[in-house]
Structure formats: C-alpha cells, structure tokens
Amino acid sequence: MCQAFAMRIATWNVNSVGARLPRLLGWLSTAAPDVLCLQELKCAAEAFPAEEVAELGYEVAVHGTGRWNGVALLSKVGLEDVRRGLVDEPGYGAEDALLETTEPRAISAVCGGVRIWSVYVPNGREVGHAHYDYKLRWLEALRSTVDKERGAERAVLGDFNVAPADEDVWDIERFAGCTHVTASERQALSALLETDLTEIRPRALKYDIPFTYWDYRALGFQKNKGMRIDLAYTDRALSDAVTDAYVDREERKGKGASDHAPVVLDVAR
C-alpha cells in the first residue's frame, strides 16, 4: 500500500534575495514550504545565501549571473537531476549587443518525486519591442520543454509576466495595448495546457481576485491595484491532489517587502 505524502509547494518573485533575505528566512520558518521556487534573485549563483537557508533544512539549486534575473529551487524533499535552462532556449541581445545571450530564467529538479520548474518569463517591455518577441519565443521554448516531460509528475511555477484573463488585472482598460494582457501572450500561456498541464488558481482571501503583484508606486498594494501574474501549473494527476492554493498577501505588507506575494499549493499525494 502506498503511504500518503503531503507536500507544500510555493513560488515567490523575491525581487532581490539579498535585499529580502531576512523576510525570506522568516517566511521559510513560518510557512514551511517543502519546495520553494524563487525568481528575480538579482545575484550570482555563488552569492546566493545557501548556508542561511540550509540551516532551515533546505537544499538549494541556483541559476543566476548577478544581474536582473536569476531563479532558484529550495527543497526539503530532495533535489535530484537539476536542469538549468530550457531546451532550445532563445537568447536576448540588448540594443547595443551584437550577440544574443541566454538568461538565467528557468531551473528544475525532481523534488519528492515531482519534476518542479521555477520560471521567470521575460517581461516583454512593450508590444513591438524586440523583448516582446523574445518573450513569445521564450514561452514557446518552455512549452516545448515541458511537453517532452509528459508522463512524469510535473509542476511549473513562477512569475509568468502574463495575466491569464481580463479579471486578473485591476483595471483592464488601463492595460489596453500593453504587454501582459495581449492575445499573443495569453495564447502562448494557454499552450501550456496542451502539454497535459492544468492551471491551479488560488482561492481568493480578502478580495475577489487573488492578485500576486502590486506596483510599489501610488499605493498600489494599499489600493489593491494588482495583477495575477505569478502562476502555478501541474500535471492532471497532481492537480487532483491539490487540497489548497492561496496567495500569502501578508508577506506583501510592511517595510522591505517584495512587490510580489508568495503563491502556495498544498498537495496530498
């Protein structure tokens, strides 16, 4: 007989692990996820505070170069077969660069028997910009990569920089013609569902829509002018085992908070 196994999986765009380290350690201690997917580390792999999180029982896998990107996996339930990057991952070259270079935006490992991805999808900047095309190509590479993993238990979590539906932004009229809500971006996001994945939508707590990101400016959080762009996808078998999913809005409050809140999934496998 198989023994039941409960696992808590979370994702959080921490917006600089160095600046957010005290809050990260505090949240790990209280929320106690078994696996945490981090994005926007803004530090090189060798500078990640691995010793500090190891004291809380976590193994660490990092993909970072010290610039504006960077992703990581923290796990209490194993960290096997670590993979950095996507299959045929596109690169991006700045306007003054001659060559495209890949950025540290995806990392995965097998944690507790589940292949878990932490992803940080490119922002896109503005429609028509080269970064917008890069974003669409990157999402296609993500789709292709996870499609090759059919048959295994999988979860893909992170900052997707796409709001799946109009209701997932605080005022859709203000986003007209902007990135994060275009048909092309949403179509690329929906393509993930064709790889036998299901989106896990968090339950609403204080407000009707479980936003995950609020701009620092103009009292965005206090006025709940947010977006739901931090998303979680699991294979169908795993989705049936999800017992709860929520956004930890409390972690967005107070001094020194990230502009994103953690998204938490509880799974009884």
Q: Which residues pair with 242 in a beta bridge?
A: 267
Nearest to 12 by CA among 71, 90, 68: 71
In a domain, 242, yes or no: yes
In a domain, 220, yes or no: yes
In a domain, 68, yes or no: yes
In a domain, 92, yes or no: yes
In a domain, 78, yes or no: yes
Q: Would residue 120 show up in a list of annotated catalytic residues for this protein?
A: yes
**pLDDT given at position 2:** 47
Supply the range of the domain harboring residue 189: 6-268
From the annotation, which residues make up the binding site?
13, 40, 159, 161, 259-260
Rounded percentage of the chain residues whose pLDDT exceeds 70:
97
**pLDDT given at position 266:** 98
**pLDDT given at position 93:** 83
Q: Would residue 92 show up in a list of annotated catalytic residues for this protein?
A: no
In a domain, 1, yes or no: no
**pLDDT given at position 95:** 64
Question: How many CA atoms does the CB half-sphere of 180 hold within 13 Å?
Answer: 25
From the annotation, which residues make up the binding site for Mg(2+)?
13, 40, 159, 161, 259-260
C-alpha to C-alpha distances, 69 to 141, 168, 251, nearest whole angstrom: 17, 24, 21
Catalytic residue among 120, 132, 213, 233: 120
Q: What is the CATH number of the domain that holds 13?
A: 3.60.10.10
Cβ neighbours for 65, distance < 8 A, ≥ 6 positions apart: 44, 45, 103, 104
In a domain, 118, yes or no: yes
In a domain, 147, yes or no: yes
**pLDDT given at position 98:** 61
- DSSP characters over 88-157: T---B--TT-SS-B--S-EEEEEETTEEEEEEE-----STTSHHHHHHHHHHHHHHHHHHTTTTS-EEEE
Number of domains in the chain: 1
Is-contact 131 118, C-beta < 8 A?
no
Q: What is the pLDDT of residues 124-163, one digit of tens each?
A: 999 999 999 999 999 999 999 999 999 999 999 999 999 9
Over the chain (269 residues), the average pLDDT of each successive run of 10 is 76 98 98 98 97 98 93 98 97 74 96 98 96 98 97 96 97 95 98 96 90 96 97 96 97 96 95
Catalytic residue among 159, 168, 230, 248: 159
How far apart, in whole angstroms, are the C-alpha atoms of residue 189 and residue 16? 25
